[in-house]
Amino acid sequence: MFTLALLVASIVVVVSPLPSASVYKLKERIPNPRDWVQLHRAPVDYILPLRIALPQIKFGELERHLYEVSNPGHQRYGAHLSKEEVERLIAPHPESLAVINKWLTSHGLDEKDLQRSPAQDWVTIHVPIGLAEEMLDTKFHTWKHVVHGDVVVGTTSYSLPEDVHAHVELVQPTTYFARPRALRTTLRFTEDTASAAVNKDTSAGRITIPGSEVSVDASCNTTITVACLKELYNAVGFGASSHNGNILGITGYLEQFANFEDLQLFYADQVPAAVNTSFTVSLINGGGNNQSSTEAGAEADLDVQFGLGLTFPTPGIFWSTGGRPPFTPDAITTGDTNEPYLDWLSFVLRQDNVPQTISTSYADDEQTVPESYARRVCAEFAQLGARGSTLLFGSGDGGVGDGNPDPATQNCFANDGTNRTRFIPLFPASCPFITSVGGTVNIPEVAVSFSGGGFSNYFQRPSYQEVAISEYLDSLPDGTYEGLFNRSGRGIPDVAAQADRFRIFLSGRPVSIGGTSAATPTFAGIISLLNSARLSKGLPSLGFINPLLYSDHANTTFNDITVGNNPGCGTKGFNATAGWDPVTGFGTPNFGKLLRIVAP
């Protein structure tokens, strides 16, 4: 964009049309974001970290590889791609690189000012907002969230020069106003404050699960422990390896710190053999590792304690990723963004080796995430799947609503300016290249009422879901929730696990906690145990598991949940039913049956 002085000079001196590079074309526009109020122009000298995504011209080929190596019926099953092979498939066209380089140079930026991803499909620059406004023909403002008070820098539209337009997929942070949050519905402090072991009421006996060889201690109906989950999901007696290369990865965002001392209390309480063992912490984008007991994060403690408790002695890594509001207008430093997934992905995809199983319990309403951003981040997840990692995300804690566990305050309106009532799926749970985990409760299991579920408005139904979802939709009475959900969208969730009454230790005290944030590390733990079995037999990791889950010989290895529903948006939500449903997916895992399939 020309400054006023240049514009005046061009009017006086130049009589021919402006050069094509100065003709801007709209790249993205969003409605004013719901619950955000525009305050004032952002300071022009505030430094903004702009990420520029170049088109991945061979992504379709990467997707083909992903499905072939993830399909148990394909001859290439398990032949995961290397880091270098993936990077060759996502590399931009040389012409795109040349055009982007020329554009950046025209604004005074040279190679030393650029940070490139290994495949060169991302370019990051740190520029003053004044220069960003010139490059994107836009105006940045500060915006404040009316409920939570977060203040961020953003814009509702931006443009690019016509000759650059086709060579850029997106630029962020620009139109990103989402507020990623931990998926947690309940946090209840128990009466006992000591680290005494769980008291089991042996007089209550055991509960036999109908239709299976499984029985569970009756105390598990009030308190979920590692022992409960191993009994319920038929994993008792399996010994994971500590030296076959298997690793469990757990993501942490929003200043959620996993506390070492809390883990030791948890181990003493539930996994005595693991006492004095720990996990690795990796800091990303200014992430912290504050070990003060007052800074322990309930979400981080839950994920680490149950994820590692289930998989002991499998090594674990906890990624602490920084980046969140608030904006500080008087600090002329790199802007603090609210895009944790890109920060984490940028780091992890650079690593030569990544964990075989990765658990994430954070999400946001899909509609608050710009669609271009959601699609590109989803494509980045596909890279990890192609390299042999299983990615698991919680499906949400608001039923069919907006992730808010309190139905009375749910916001179920489309964010497109129409104010239509709509069910609100969550992202990244809606990405077709990850595995989404819903929730159950009680023994025998029923769907927990807050289990997030529904259908994506961004992503079409993937081929692996076609049969299962078509059968479910055909079973619905005509007109069910007409107009409230996208019948052709990717279905959520894929599977489920227990999601309430989990006993963890937080700041030195035992507490009871729940949410699909509990279900996700639980299911991740089961997958990690399966990976351990495979690696010990010389087999590759499972990688992207959805084609396996939806195959005829695998979906029968789940405990089908047929009772319960997930209310929200003033409705009863969807019902759990035989087969796949948008409350619990195919149900909860039977490790023993899965083991016979994936590691015979």
Given this model, what pLDDT does residue 3 score? 39
Q: How much is the average pLDDT of 152-181?
A: 91
Q: From the candidates 219, 449, 451, 517, give the one annotated as an active-site residue.
A: 517
Contact 68, 78 (CB under 8 A): no
Co-location of 126 and 263 in the same domain: no
Percent of the chain with pLDDT over 70: 88
Q: How much is the average pLDDT of 230-249?
A: 97
- The mean-pLDDT minimum among 10-14, 227-231, 411-415 falls in 10-14
Given this model, what pLDDT does residue 276 score? 98
The label of the residue with tokens 């959620």 reads 256
Contact 549, 433 (CB under 8 A): no
Given this model, what pLDDT does residue 337 score? 52
The model's pTM: 0.91
Between the CA of residue 257 and those of 194, 316, 342, 507, 525, what are the distances in Å? 22, 15, 20, 11, 20
Tell me: pLDDT of 195 over 50. Answer: no
Q: Is 267 inside a domain boundary?
A: yes
Interatomic CA distance for residues 67 and 76, integer angstroms: 10
Tell me: pLDDT of 202 over 80. Answer: no
Residue 198's pLDDT band (cuts 50, 70, 90) = low
Co-location of 387 and 288 in the same domain: yes
- Cα-Cα-Cα-Cα torsion 12, 16, 21, 22, nearest 10 degrees, comes to 40
Co-location of 510 and 365 in the same domain: yes
Given this model, what pLDDT does residue 13 score? 37
Given this model, what pLDDT does residue 432 score? 98
Domain edge (last residue) among 177, 198, 213: 177
Percent of the chain with pLDDT over 90: 73
Q: Is 6 inside a domain boundary?
A: no
Tell me: pLDDT of 121 over 90. Answer: yes
The label of the residue with tokens 């259908």 reads 455
Co-location of 103 and 238 in the same domain: no
State residue 72 phi and psi, 5-degree precision.
-65, -15
In terms of residue numbers, what domain contains 518? 221-328+347-598
Q: Which of 57-66, 419-428, 553-562 has the highest mean pLDDT?
A: 57-66
Residue 21's pLDDT band (cuts 50, 70, 90) = very low
Interatomic CA distance for residues 119 and 97, integer angstroms: 11
Q: Is 487 inside a domain boundary?
A: yes
State yes or no: is 299 an active-site residue. yes
CATH number of 518's domain: 3.40.50.200
Co-location of 30 and 97 in the same domain: yes
DSSP secondary structure string for all residues of 13-36: H--SPPPGGG-EEEEEE-PPPTTE
Tell me: pLDDT of 524 over 50. Answer: yes
How crowded is the C-beta side of 257, counted as CA atoms within 13 Å? 17
Given this model, what pLDDT does residue 147 score? 82
Q: Is 589 inside a domain boundary?
A: yes
Domain edge (last residue) among 120, 155, 177: 177
The terminus-to-terminus CA distance of the chain in angstroms comes to 63
Q: Is 505 inside a domain boundary?
A: yes
| Residue from 192, 290, 231, 122 nearest 526 by CA | 231
Given this model, what pLDDT does residue 286 score? 84
Q: What share of the chain is helix, strand, coil (3-state, %, to 5)?
A: 30, 25, 45
State yes or no: is 517 an active-site residue. yes
Which tokens belong to 445?
């299991």
Residue 288's pLDDT band (cuts 50, 70, 90) = confident
State residue 480 phi and psi, 5-degree precision.
-60, 120
Co-location of 125 and 264 in the same domain: no
Q: How much is the average pLDDT of 525-529?
A: 98
Tell me: pLDDT of 196 over 80. Answer: no
CB environment 578-599: b (16+ within 10 A), e (fewer): ebbbbbbbbbbbbbbbbbeebb
Co-location of 246 and 357 in the same domain: yes
Structure letter (DSSP) for residue 381: H
Tell me: pLDDT of 11 over 60. Answer: no
pLDDT: which is higher, 14 or 353 = 353
Interatomic CA distance for residues 550 and 9, integer angstroms: 64
| Residue from 110, 165, 112 nearest 137 by CA | 165
Co-location of 448 and 591 in the same domain: yes
Domain edge (last residue) among 121, 152, 177: 177
Co-location of 149 and 292 in the same domain: no
Co-location of 128 and 230 in the same domain: no
Interatomic CA distance for residues 189 and 458, integer angstroms: 39
Co-location of 103 and 169 in the same domain: yes
Structure letter (DSSP) for residue 389: -
Residue 339's pLDDT band (cuts 50, 70, 90) = low
| CB burial of residue 38 (10 Å; 0-12, 13-18, 19+) | middle
Q: Which residues contact 7 (CB under 8 A, 6 or more apart)?
A: none
Q: Is 75 inside a domain boundary?
A: no
Tell me: pLDDT of 326 over 70. Answer: no
Q: Is 266 inside a domain boundary?
A: yes
Average pLDDT across the chain, whole number: 89
Contact 403, 452 (CB under 8 A): yes
Tell me: pLDDT of 333 over 80. Answer: no
Given this model, what pLDDT does residue 50 score? 94
pLDDT tens digits for range 380-411:
999 999 999 999 999 999 999 876 666 666 77
Contact 70, 549 (CB under 8 A): no
Co-location of 359 and 502 in the same domain: yes
Given this model, what pLDDT does residue 182 score? 60
The tally of domains found in the chain comes to: 2
Tell me: pLDDT of 9 over 50. Answer: no
Q: From the candidates 217, 269, 299, 336, give the one annotated as an active-site residue.
A: 299
Q: Between 260-270 and 298-311, two packed helices, what is the crossing angle to 10 degrees?
A: 50
CB environment 157-196: b (16+ within 10 A), e (fewer): ebbbbebbeebbbbbbbbbbbbbbbbbbbbeeeeeeeeee
Identity of the residue numbered 209: I
Q: Which residues pair with 408 in a beta bridge?
A: none
- The mean-pLDDT minimum among 20-29, 368-377, 423-432, 561-570 falls in 20-29
Q: Is 68 inside a domain boundary?
A: no
How crowded is the C-beta side of 28, counted as CA atoms within 13 Å? 21
Contact 528, 547 (CB under 8 A): no
570 three-class SS? coil
Q: From the candidates 137, 169, 303, 500, give the one annotated as an active-site residue.
A: 303
Tell me: pLDDT of 155 over 90. Answer: yes
